[in-house]
Amino acid sequence: MHELALELNAVLDKSPAGPFLSSLGRRLFFPRGIIAQAMEAKKTGLNATLGMAFNKGKPLILSPLLKNLPGLKPEEAVIYAPTAGIEAFRQVWKTALINKNPSLKGTYFSLPIVVPGITAGISYIADLFLDSDDEILAANPSWDNYSLIFEERRGAVLKTIPLFTEQGGLNTRAFEKAIKEQAAKGLVRIILNFPHNPSGYTPLVTEANTLLGVIKEAADKGASVLVICDDAYFGLFYEEEIIKESLFARLVNLHEKVLAVKIDGPTKEDYVWGFRTAFITFGSKSLDENTAAALEKKCMGAIRSSVSCANTPAQYLTLKSWEDPETWPEKEAFYSLLYSRYRAVKQFLAENPVPSSLQALPFNSGYFMSFRCSVQQSCTVQPCCTSGNKPSGAEKIRQAMLAKGIGTIAWGDEYLRVTFAAIEEKDIPRLYRAIYEAAEN
């Protein structure tokens, strides 16, 4: 193993991250090669390090590119960004995290690391902390890419937890049972995604407190706990009683044996889906500058060995948008637009009884809501589900909707996801009537 990797491992083995490092995670390091040497040579008069072409101190850029990137200097448009991201971009995001999550005030957590999208961030964390046959907990239903990342790429085992009770709230008892089972083995790995994809649910304050209590209890009894917070849709909260902070903000000071990882970014928060720009942030009650620096270098090794660095113009464009006073009232206007669509869906569901073959899952935030698709039937083929409600029909409904020129997502054959955020308010009744009609037929 490389000596730089060994140095980082020696630091991390004394931290809550140590027990979770995968074989790949232990091998990763940030090389003192081209990138590191170029950083050292950045202030020299003749910098013959990076593989780029310059003229009069500026990187070469095609005029059409410059013309179509108004406001960006050549060095903001086409130059390589640092592996961990543009420093100012990272600093501004850290400040924003504190402003959006008051519990973080006065708390030490790492400087966010820029990655090429939230998917990449989750994948890098899987590289660091998951080996073949390691188990990680996630809600059921959950984003389908979790399976691809954790199981197919890393060979880990994705163990799912029923997200909701029969009454419709967060199934905290199921989470408690699953976490205790993992804690008995010494290591707990769990990914939490709120606002949730595909259901559009964020826990109530009371539910969040219960979940945090379960995690703390597991750590109190000696288990090391890794909590990955997939906060892709953070900030799009539509009801007062739900928790408005990321769980990361509460996990950072929860326990010395709890390592929290926040993966978020402007993708959804700033409506820049194609920018493929996100952040990884680490926090723990036992995190210090030495440990944070080691984790940063591990992540830089993952980035350098895959895409090298994140998109430079996307970082600068986003940074400039944050500096523009027009951004904030416009973001408020966009939020109001999504909120009105959310209320329109709620109103339709309240005024139009859901067909017996559909069950609307609870939703209160984000972009989506989902239906569980089932039919009442007497099963003659064993085994059958005990309730008599056998999952069926999501794909058939999706196909029927396509025939009407309407697109929805079938989540397997059990769930139908609807992105209300993408639908004009005036079209929401027509959309949901079509879903009802397809389900009834």
pLDDT (average), residues 96-122:
96
Question: Is residue 88 located within the same domain as residue 203?
Answer: yes
Provide the pLDDT for residue 107. 95
23 is a domain residue? yes
Q: Which residues pair with 428 in a beta bridge?
A: none
Q: Residue 418's domain is classified under what CATH number?
A: 3.90.1150.10
Percentage, residues of the chain above pLDDT 70: 87
Question: Is residue 285 located within the same domain as residue 360?
Answer: no
Helix (H) / strand (E) element for 391: namely strand 389-391
Phi-psi region of 382 (alpha: psi -120 to 50; beta: other; left: phi over 0): beta
CB hemisphere CA count around 42 (13 angstroms): 8
Q: Residue 105's domain is classified under what CATH number?
A: 3.40.640.10
Answer with the residue of higher pLDDT: 96 or 268.
96
103 is a domain residue? yes
- Asked if residue 110 has pLDDT above 90, the reply is yes
Question: Is residue 311 located within the same domain as residue 338?
Answer: no
Question: Is residue 334 located within the same domain as residue 303?
Answer: no
Q: b or e along 73-83 (b: 16 or more beta carbons within 10 Å of the residue's beta carbon)?
A: ebebbbbebbb
Instruction: Look up the domain containing 114 and give its range.
Output: 3-30+83-323
66 is a domain residue? no
Question: Is residue 160 located within the same domain as residue 306?
Answer: yes
Question: Is residue 188 located within the same domain as residue 278?
Answer: yes
Per-residue pLDDT reduced to its tens digit, 136-184: 999 999 998 898 889 888 889 999 999 999 888 999 999 999 999 999 9
Range name among 42-56, 60-74, 172-186, 367-381 with the lowest pLDDT average: 42-56
Provide the pLDDT for residue 429. 93
What mean pLDDT is reported for the chain? 87
Question: Is residue 294 located within the same domain as residue 387?
Answer: no
Question: Is residue 197 located within the same domain as residue 231?
Answer: yes
Provide the pLDDT for residue 50. 56
Provide the pLDDT for residue 396. 87
Answer with the residue of higher pLDDT: 145 or 54.
145
Provide the pLDDT for residue 165. 94
Domain boundary, last residue among 295, 323, 351: 323
- Asked if residue 101 has pLDDT above 50, the reply is yes
Rounded distance between C-alpha atoms, residue 50 and residue 46, angstroms: 12
Answer with the residue of higher pLDDT: 122 or 395.
122
Domain boundary, last residue among 323, 345, 364: 323
Question: Is residue 342 located within the same domain as residue 309?
Answer: no
How many domains does the chain contain in total? 2
53 is a domain residue? no
Question: Is residue 371 located within the same domain as residue 351?
Answer: yes
Range name among 59-73, 87-101, 140-154 with the lowest pLDDT average: 59-73
Question: Is residue 281 located within the same domain as residue 394?
Answer: no
CA distances 95 to 88, 122, 267, Å, are 11, 22, 18
Question: Is residue 157 located within the same domain as residue 256?
Answer: yes
Cis peptide before 355 (omega within 30 of 0): no
Range name among 32-36, 64-68, 162-166, 341-345 with the lowest pLDDT average: 32-36
- Asked if residue 360 has pLDDT above 60, the reply is yes
Provide the pLDDT for residue 251. 98
Radius of gyration of the chain (CA): 23
Per-residue pLDDT reduced to its tens digit, 373-424: 974 443 333 333 333 444 458 888 888 888 888 888 888 789 988 888 888 8
Nearest-10 crossing angle of helices 118-129, 289-304: 110
354 is a domain residue? yes
Provide the pLDDT for residue 387. 39
11 is a domain residue? yes
Percentage, residues of the chain above pLDDT 90: 60
373 is a domain residue? yes
Confidence of residue 206 (pLDDT cuts 50, 70, 90): very high
61 is a domain residue? no
Provide the pLDDT for residue 390. 46
Provide the pLDDT for residue 2. 84
CA distances 82 to 77, 251, 280, 303, 334, Å, are 13, 29, 15, 11, 32
Domain boundary, last residue among 323, 358, 393: 323
Per-residue pLDDT reduced to its tens digit, 256-306: 999 999 999 998 888 888 889 999 999 999 999 999 999 999 999 999 999
